[in-house]
Amino acid sequence: MKKIKNITNIIYPAIFFIVLLLVWEGISRFGAVPVFILPSPTMIIYSLFVNFPSMGIHILITLYEAVLGFIIAIVISIIAALAMDSISPVKKVLYPLLIASQTIPIIILAPLFIIWFGYGYLPKIIIVVLICFFPITISLLQGFASVDKELLDLLRSMNAKKLQVYKIVKFPSAMPGFFSGLKIAATYSIMGATIGEWVGGKNGLGVYMIRAKFSFATDRVFAAIIVITVLSILLLKIIDLIENHYMPWLKISKEEYLED
Looking at the structure, tell me whether residues 129 and 74 fall in a common domain: yes
Residues 188 and 219 in one domain: yes
Q: Are residues 21 and 82 in the same domain?
A: no
Q: Tell the burial category of 20 from Cβ atoms under 10 Å away from its Cβ (0-12, 13-18, 19+).
A: exposed
Phi-psi region of 216 (alpha: psi -120 to 50; beta: other; left: phi over 0): left
- Tell me, yes or no, whether 173 and 232 share the same domain: yes
One domain, residues 62 and 163: yes
pLDDT at 67: 92
Please, which residues have CB within 8 angstroms of residue 167's CB and are 6 or more apart in sequence? none
Question: Is residue 25 domain-shared with residue 43, that is, in the same domain?
Answer: no
pLDDT per residue, tens digit, the chain (260 aa), is: 555 555 666 777 778 888 888 887 788 777 777 777 788 888 888 888 888 888 889 999 999 999 999 999 999 999 988 888 888 888 888 888 888 877 877 777 778 888 888 778 888 898 899 888 888 999 888 888 877 777 777 777 777 777 777 777 778 888 888 888 898 898 888 888 888 888 777 788 888 888 888 888 888 888 999 999 999 999 988 988 888 877 766 655 555 544 55
Q: What CATH number is associated with residue 195? A: 1.10.3720.10
Do 49 and 146 lie in one domain? The reply is yes
Q: What is the pTM of this model?
A: 0.82
* Amino acid 64: pLDDT: 92
d(CA 190, CA 197): 11
Domain range holding 222? 38-259
Q: Give the whole-angstrom CA distance, residue 90 versus residue 67.
A: 28
Number of domains in the chain: 2
Could you tell me the end-to-end alpha-carbon distance of the chain, in angstroms, rounded to an integer? 11
Number of neighbouring beta carbons within 10 Å of residue 138: 19
Same domain, 79 and 193: yes
Say whether both 47 and 28 belong to one domain: no
The answer on 251 and 193 residing in a single domain is yes
* Residue 15 amino acid letter: I
**25 with 87, same domain?**
no
Q: Is 102 in the same domain as 204?
A: yes
Q: Is 124 exposed, middle or buried (0-12, 13-18, 19+ CB in 10 A)?
A: buried
Report yes or no: 177 and 143 within 8 Å, Cβ to Cβ: yes
